[in-house]
Amino acid sequence: MSGVYFKEEQKFNQWWIWMLMIMLSGLWIWQMVQQIFMGIPFGNNPAPDLVVILTGLFPVGGILLFRFLTLETCINEEGVHYRFKPFQRRYKIIRPADILRFEVMKYSPLREYGGWGIRLGSTKHGNAYNVSGNMGVLFELKNKKKFMLGTQNPESLRSAMNKLMKPDIPV
């Protein structure tokens, strides 16, 4: 991608997500230590040892997933490129010719989209890709669809979008 106007990588760095993952992992480790290594059944109706071991796949898998989840955004003369790794290997693109209008704005991820991540929204709000915070760019496309792309750098994104939509104006 040449002529990059804006580039951003966002990760899930919210303390509460990591605290939840650590607590789940700690509970699993305690369950394993108590039942498998100490020989004391865990709970009133203990699971078999194999199930206890396999249960650990959930917190460990969650930690790995949130560690590698990344929202990548790049704006260049071709358009707005975005992807949510590791779910999307290739960038999706919104071309300038497809954009009716855009607005960098504050929004409510929970109320308008049901949370963070890849959010398939309603016809009113459209879809969203976001990781944290409450700032993003809302695209209204010529096909009547809406799309929200979250950002941690709203002013830089606004500047890049202005340059993309009016390439003869220096930023």
In whole angstroms, what is the distance from residue 116 CA to residue 84 CA?
A: 12
Q: Which of 157, 144, 152, 139 is nearest to 93 (CA)?
A: 139
CA angle 108, 109, 110 (to 5 degrees): 95
pTM: 0.77
* Chain centre distance of CA 16: 15
The model's pLDDT over 56-74, given as tens digits with 9 standing for 90+, comes to 888 888 888 878 899 999 9
pLDDT of residue 33: 85
For residue 32, pLDDT beyond 80: yes
For residue 97, pLDDT beyond 90: yes
pLDDT of residue 76: 95
pLDDT of residue 94: 97
For residue 75, pLDDT beyond 90: yes
